[in-house]
Amino acid sequence: DKAVLTPPYVHMCRTMKEYILYFMISGEMELAEGGNPVTLRANDVYILDPDVEHWGTKATECSYFYIHFTHSAIRAEEMEIDQLKGHMIDRRLNSMKESCSCKECERKKLLCIPKHFHINAPGGALALLDILQRIQNMYGSLILDTIYSDSTGHSSGIRPYL
């Protein structure tokens, strides 16, 4: 779903049971996750972890998409950015060599996503924004069936499963 925040609104404090992916369209959002400060700007992508409290630390103006999701195969791994880049390149090269569809080979094709990254490739952010807007337009009439509420009764967005 898409959200627009304007002061004096500050993101609520909450702990969710699923991951939340933010894609910042414009402005800036200041929040904390588990006590760690995070500043998000236009074209940033950030994934909030489940079972970790997060909250806004400052009233800011911003626009962003958010997607709540979960999957049993998701796991977090600590890596330096250069190590992650090497890991992703190795996985991509290996997947291009394999034509097998057994479970072991499929496991090797799992997607690696950094917790926080900025899209700076020309057209990359626009392409992602276009995809998210198309999804929102296509499924807008189905949102009532897929929307859920948090413990306070506030709407918390689409809950897709991978």
* pLDDT computed for residue 159 by the predictor: 30
* pLDDT computed for residue 60 by the predictor: 92
Low-confidence ranges of the chain (pLDDT < 70): 98-111, 138-162
* pLDDT computed for residue 123 by the predictor: 81
Half-sphere exposure of 47 (CA within 13 A, CB side): 15
C-alpha closest to that of 111 among 21, 23, 50, 42: 21
* pLDDT computed for residue 160 by the predictor: 30
For residue range 1-21, what is the model confidence (pLDDT) as tens digits?
A: 788 888 888 989 999 999 999
Give the global pTM. 0.70
For residues 53 and 30, give the distance between their C-alpha atoms in angstroms, rounded to a whole number.
14
